[in-house]
Amino acid sequence: MSLKNKLHELFESIDVRYIEDLPKKGLKIGISFGNNYITIILDKSKINVVENKLDNLDNEIITDEESLNHLLEGKLSLIDLIIRGKLYISGKLSNLLKLVDVFRAKSINLGFEGSSLYNVLKAVFEGICNKNEEILRQIKNFNATFQFSDFEGSTCCLIINEGKFVVKDGKCEGKPTASISAKREVWNKIFNGEESVGTVAMNGEAKIEGNLIQAFKLKTIIDKIF
């Protein structure tokens, strides 16, 4: 079966009634792979697959045929492919995560829940934010370090410097600008768009220490992705 036919079969088999929190206007997701392009149109009643690029996409996935095949066959997760530079996503990741249960049933692993905090944040900041011109303009004069922890031994450091994001495994060297700690299930809520960093901090599910003004600047960036 061709890759294009696999995508038709995958999305046309989805029952949209089981997709939670689908926006009223629906979703349009474009997928570019090799010399091919399809657009997935999801609304409350049905899913359509068209073989061309439409305007006003909510998300666009850009990859190659081999990488997309690995994702569809469950050989590599979405996070793995982003880290390897084999796949790029524009738009809010929370849109795709609305389909996570559907994809899981098809043995497709997005990787947000099973990957370490370091791998998820590396994929988000280095693999997505570093290719987003709007976000890069936002951090042009923003230099800071942020330490993230999930209370389960996973700690990583985000360095924003000279208009780029770098994520390193382990604690930051020296005192970070701010530290953000939360249980992994809380991070998952942020990643799938259920909660924002600000909301979980206000309700006590996340602990933020250090420069709160700089942490708020980071929140505005995270909100653009999730």
Q: What is the pLDDT of residues 42-90, one digit of tens each?
A: 988 888 999 999 999 999 999 999 999 999 999 999 999 999 999 999 9
Q: Looking at the predicted structure, is the pLDDT value of residue 18 above 80? A: no
One-letter amino acid of 207: K
* Alpha carbon of residue 33 to chain centroid: 19
Q: Quick: pLDDT tens for 201-223.
A: 889 999 999 999 999 999 899 88
Return the pLDDT at 19.
77
Residue 194: pLDDT band by 50, 70, 90 thresholds?
Answer: confident
User: Are residues 129 and 142 in contact, defined by beta-carbon separation less than 8 angstroms?
Assistant: no
- The reported pTM is 0.88
Domains of the chain: 3-105 (3.30.1050.10), 130-225 (3.30.1050.10)
